[in-house]
Amino acid sequence: MTIQTRYNQVISQIRQAQIEFNRQTDDIQLLAVSKTWPASHLRQLVALGQTAFGENYLQEATEKIAQLSDLRLTWHFIGPIQSNKTRPIAELFDWVQSVDRVKIARRLSAQRPENKPDLNICIQINIDNENTKSGVNSNELMVLAEQITALPKLKLRGIMVIPSKKSLVEDQQASFRQAEQLFQQLSAAYSDIDTLSMGMSSDMNIAIAEGSTLVRIGSALFGQRTTPSKLSRVN
């Protein structure tokens, strides 16, 4: 299958889910998760109209961002963050979706270049309280949000979740629903909150049904990843 066919399928799947679940058109963003794929593949998607890309590994992302610097793209960092790697993240990316501790937020704030717009931030929530996964626990969200909104050069936009794999649709729904409630709580407390980042290739419909505003899609767009990924959950 070509990238073009996959892209058209993903776009129409999102549209159909929007209609089926009564979501406003335009309110669901597609983030193309391009980890392990070379710049040439991203370029093909850009030619079809895609402009937002998500990357998990800094070194890999740095190369691609340089190779695609002739294009106007929006880059989201979505992987775990080591504190000694925050400077290039603050310099190269437009969004960081995987902030889960104040130390990282402080460093991103201090290291964001003066001449760049505020760095958009999502707080990653460990929605199913998994030992192996990054993210704050739900009850830590509001404290971290307060700390982040007090920092210069950062703009808190919402939350990101990666639920655990579950066999029952109802259980998947429950995690997404809980995330949606936390998102509402955050929106009520702060302005600029507009991003509920949830849903991947295998669960985007359920995520859209439960209120996702941004789906992070890798394999459904690019094909199965063959390179080993550090992410515990791959399709």
Ligand X SMILES: *Cc1c(COP(=O)(O)O)cnc(C)c1O
In the bound state with ligand X, the residue whose beta carbon lies nearer, of 133 and 151, is 133
CB of 212 to ligand X, least distance (A): 12
**Alpha-carbon span 229 to 183, nearest angstrom:** 29
Please state the closest distance from residue 219 (CB atom) to ligand X, in A. Answer: 4
> What is the three-class DSSP state of 58?
helix
Handedness of CA 175, 180, 183, 189 (dihedral sign): negative
Q: How far is the CB of 11 from ligand X (least distance, A)?
A: 15
Nearer to ligand X, 135 or 211 (CB): 135
> Which residue is nearest to ligand X, using beta carbons?
218
Nearest-5° angle of CA 157, CA 158, CA 159?
A: 145
Q: Which two tokens stand for residue 6?
A: 């996959």
Q: Report in angstroms how near the CB of residue 183 gets to ligand X at its nearest.
A: 17
Asked if residue 48 lies in contact with residue 67, where contact means CB atoms within 8 angstroms, the answer is no
Nearer to ligand X, 88 or 223 (CB): 223
Distance CA 126, CA 89 (A): 22
Would you say 200 and 217 are in contact if contact means Cβ atoms under 8 Å apart?
yes
* Tokens describing residue 226: 């063959």
- Residue 68 or residue 220: which is nearer to ligand X going by CB? 220
* Least distance from ligand X to the Cβ atom of residue 34, Å: 9
- Distance, CA of 22 to CA of 116 (rounded, Å): 37
CB closer to ligand X out of 141 and 151:
141
- Which positions touch ligand X (CB under 6 A)? 33, 35, 56, 78, 162, 200-202, 216-220, 231, 235
